[in-house]
Chain A
Amino acid sequence: MPATSQELHFLAISELAARIQSKKLSPVDLAKHFLDRSEKLGPRFNAYARLTPELALEQAEAAQKEIARGHYRGPLHGIPYAAKDLLATKGMPTTWGAKPYADQVFDYDAAVIEHLRRVGAVLIGKAAMIELAGGMGYRYASASLQGEAKNPWNTQCWTCGSSSGSGAVVAAGLAAFAIGTETWGSIVCPSSFCGVSGLRPTYGRVSRFGAMSLCFSLDKIGPMCRTADDCARVFSAIAGHDIRDRGTVPIDKAAFTFSPSLDLKARPLKIGWLTNAWKQVDPEVERVSKAAHATIRKLFAGTRDTTLPTGPWEEAASFIVAVECAASFRDLIRSGRVSELNDSLGQIAGYVNQELPASDYLQALKIRQILQKKMDKVFETYDVLVAPTLPVTASALDANIENIFSGGDPFGAIGNLCGFPALSVPCGFTSKNLPVGLNFVAKAGDDLAVIIAARTFQQHTDFHRRHPKL
């Protein structure tokens, strides 16, 4: 039987925050609890690039003093978290998961780290990740400076990437939440494989200042948590316009306010269940997702089956990723230091991507614009589109990723090409006790819709309360 969420390290942010605010739980004790657990269990999963105990205790003590003085900053005050190791943290290594950057140290914090410090969150470590967030291509889970991230539900399985450590951290209860990033699938895939709730915000709502740039027109930063509700809390702390990131949307469209007392029925959502999100679905995932479909139909009146428009969306997304990534790592490729990457594909794919013609890149961007308009029409009928996050469950650690994901990912391509928000939550388990994810996607800017939909789903299910027995 899986563990329950009654243990301190599996409590949701809202529950931890209530205890901290009422002074029943000390931020210092909480930080020590998570640090001890991370030291003990982190290596088992290759979850961390590094722990930051000194910083964590300093921040936790500051939080404790402030709260004792009556200055409570809000629901993240004193809450321990981990940040993917591509977010700059002043004065300590930020490795981007890759050997050529193993000793890289920034003298400033990423915007997300700043935001979380401002609300009193406690950074306990930098989460491991796939090298360069997978931008150079990779075939194996071992494509990481920290080694293969092992799934807390089954350590013979992978967590998915590229926010591999973030998934392991949250699933194993090593921190209350983690920050991940997604260019194409890197938040929702680990969330699905690890049975956690992960929010990929609308493109441009969270500043990427101080984050490794992979693909400037696709990179997003978002929270990975225990619940959709927690995702909303963290998102409201990190969302906002930033003049240092030209990709951020204007002030009034970037900011996000979340009220936990939100009446979920106040906004009836029109749900479209996608029947062509995946070409082939694993029979066990199919079984679980059928049950989830029935739940969705029960919860949202008028849920209808629908389909995504067909077109070369995956090709366009792949092409844009390839070209932008080659531009981001031009110096690394030209210097030959790509040979230091772990993955044999990552060592050479940059050379191929550098040769792609600019006119074809523009063709892909034209197709992207056409797709945006097509999807705008879809969202005239539906508020939220829903489908299994992935057609498979966590893959074996030594599996070749090219074989696992050979069936394509049109939903992921469309969502990321258009900058749509997505929230993946666990919706069941296979007979081998591996989690299955359900993905909610809305139009750009309507992050609230995916939060409401996922929150409603979680209020009527308990999959998010199940945790691996460690």
Chain B
Amino acid sequence: MPNHKFSRRDFARRVALASAATLVPASVLTNPDLAPTAARQFAPNAPPLPPASQTEADARTQSILAQYGSRLSDQQKTEIARLSNNQQRQLDILRAYSVQNGDDPALYLKPLMEREKKPAPTNPAATSTAKPAQAAPAPAAPKPKS
């Protein structure tokens, strides 16, 4: 069942869109569909974004225009809309990739080097004696579904 309620986030987004309207190129104001249409003109083979993704990309565009619109030409504003759309496609792909709660982000890239890997246990008995006798079983490490 469709949910017609606006979340606070949706509300804030709409306020931002409204407040930024004066910074949007005139051509966009007269036709609310023009930003994505313009984007498709630059990338004719790209399929249209799903509505939710388009809303998100548009919100980012409007945020940029609200902050920096006065220093941008109409052509640059249209180009920014296209770039936001392209970024959104990447975002959608990244978000669709399954990661688990326990997957660590490579916050600071540490190349995986041979000598840094923990040596595999050669003697199972020795490994088990290294653990506390009453230790609870460790939770299985989450594995990426990929």
Contacts and interface: CB of A to CB of B under 8 A. Distances in A.
Interface of A: 202-204, 217-218, 246-247, 249, 253, 311-312, 315-316, 318-319, 322, 336, 339, 344-345, 347-349, 351-357, 360, 362-370, 372-374, 376, 418-420, 443-446
B93 interface: yes
Contact of B106 (A217, A376, A443): A217
Given A318-B90, A444-B112, A352 B146 contact: no
A315 B90 contact: yes
Contacts of A367: 94, 97, 99
B111 A360 contact: no
Contact of B87 (A352, A418, A444): A352
Contacts of A355: 60, 63-64, 84
A460 B68 CA distance: 57
7 contacts: A249-B113, A336-B71, A354-B64, A364-B94, A366-B99, A369-B104, A445-B111
Given A351-B80, A367-B99, A319 B94 contact: yes
A351 B80 CA distance: 8
Contact of A352 (B60, B71, B107, B112): B60
B105 interface: yes
Interface in B45-83: 60, 63-64, 67-68, 71-72, 76, 79-80, 83
A247 B107 CA distance: 11
A208 to B, nearest CB: 12
Contact of A218 (B67, B99, B109): B109
B115 interface: yes
B105 A365 contact: yes
B114 interface: yes
Given A315-B93, A348-B72, A418 B112 contact: yes
Contacts of A369: 103-106
Contact of A363 (B68, B99, B146): B99
B6 interface: no
Given A369-B106, A444-B111, A312 B97 contact: yes
A204 B111 contact: yes
A370 B111 contact: no
A352 B113 contact: no
Contacts of B90: 315, 318-319
B101 to A, nearest CB: 10
A157 to B, nearest CB: 26
Nearest to A354: B64
Contact of B146 (A203, A253, A364, A370): A370
B9 interface: no
Which 7 A-B residue pairings sit nearest by Cβ, starting from the closest?
A: A444-B111, A365-B105, A445-B113, A419-B111, A217-B109, A368-B106, A352-B83
B91 interface: yes
A355 B60 CA distance: 6
B95 interface: yes
A312 B92 CA distance: 10
Given A217-B108, A356-B87, A360-B91, 8 more contacts: A315-B90, A318-B90, A319-B94, A351-B64, A363-B105, A372-B111, A372-B112, A418-B111
B141 to A, nearest CB: 11
Contacts of A311: 97, 146
Nearest to A353: B87
Given A336-B71, A370-B146, A348 B83 contact: yes
A77 to B, nearest CB: 31
B127 to A, nearest CB: 22
